[in-house]
Structure 1
Amino acid sequence: MGAAFFYHLTRAPLEATLPMLLGKSLGAGWKVVVRGPNRARMEWLDQKLWLGPEDAFLPHGLSGGPHDAHQPVLLTVAGEAAGNNPACLMAIDGAEVATKEVQTLERVCILFDGTDEEAVQVARGQWKALTSAGCSAQYWSEETGRWEKKAES
């Protein structure tokens, strides 16, 4: 059984934090699916990942391509199948996460913008739903300038 890790973004934006987490996941040997709310947001994220430093390239692709099954990181939207058989799901912008995903994957990461009150409320609802269903969860905050675990259930 995996765990849900909640990342409360207050200092660094998504486009800076996500590559760090993706690098750690790939370093663990995991394939990853990144789930967002809509195709436009995932296309934006795709561009940000391509523009990263050359020495920190993250192999990835948008879902719907001919090589989805081989992508180490696959960018998807809610309702699309994770065609790369991931060990880790990273949900952004309030994308839904099912209890079964937390129970079957190695890790589920939920990244949310701490400056957006609606995003914070969505993440609180996800925390409550997942922990009430018996899922293990951790809450991580960067408010001090480095990531610290603030809560665990």
Structure 2
Amino acid sequence: MKVDFWLLSRDPAERVVAMIAERVLAGGERALVVAEDAAQREEIGAALWEAKPEAFLANGEAGGDHDAHQPILLSDTCEPANKASACILADGQWRPETLEQDRFERVFLLFGEDRREAARTAWRDVSAKDDLERSFYEQREGRWVKVA
């Protein structure tokens, strides 16, 4: 399992979610996007639909009749009703349950400066787990760079 920590500086979470989700879908996988705030999930949903005019990123809010069929499911919990292999924690809040029972192959924690200390704590917690690969990314000159 992989856990990626992404420090947001220039791009908002909505744009970064769309970029990551596009890559997940291109690999033939599904994504679960988790954010506690309903307004943020709505913004993410709009960004996914508008990310690429020629090929929208289909998504839906959890709790509907078609959750199992959604390529990208937006939720306030870490329950992958769409059998997602990737979980994107878009609100900067670490959720240890993402590591339970091999629930996901990859987890992305997106966080800003205001959540840096909480992300450091999560980094240390993840470090204590066996069989986990962790990475840290930040934006430099408009590009995402793996720094750890």
Shift of 1:13: 1.5
Q: SS at 1:33's partner residue?
A: strand
Shift of 1:56: 3.4
* Correspondence 1:67 to 2:66: yes
Identical-pair percentage: 30
Counterpart residue number, 1:142 = 139
Encode CA deviations 1:44-97: one digit per residue, 9 max, x unaligned: 32233233332130011000110000000000103x622101110000122333
- Normalising by structure 1, we get a TM-score of 0.85
Structure 2 segments unaligned to the other structure (5+ residues): none
Spell out the pairing of 1:3-152 with structure 2 (5 A cutoff).
3-78=2-77, 81-98=79-96, 101=99, 104=102, 105-113=104-112, 116-117=113-114, 119-134=115-130, 135-151=132-148
Shift of 1:103: 6.9
Q: What is the distance in 2 between the residues matched to 1:139 and 1:3?
A: 11
Encode CA deviations 1:83-126: one digit per residue, 9 max, x unaligned: 1011100001223332663772221111112xx32x11221121
- Normalising by structure 2, we get a TM-score of 0.87
AA partner of residue 56 (structure 1): A
AA partner of residue 11 (structure 2): A
Shift of 1:21: 0.8
Q: CA RMSD in A?
A: 1.9
Alpha-carbon contact 1:3-1:102 (below 8 Å) kept:
no
AA partner of residue 145 (structure 2): E
AA partner of residue 140 (structure 1): Y
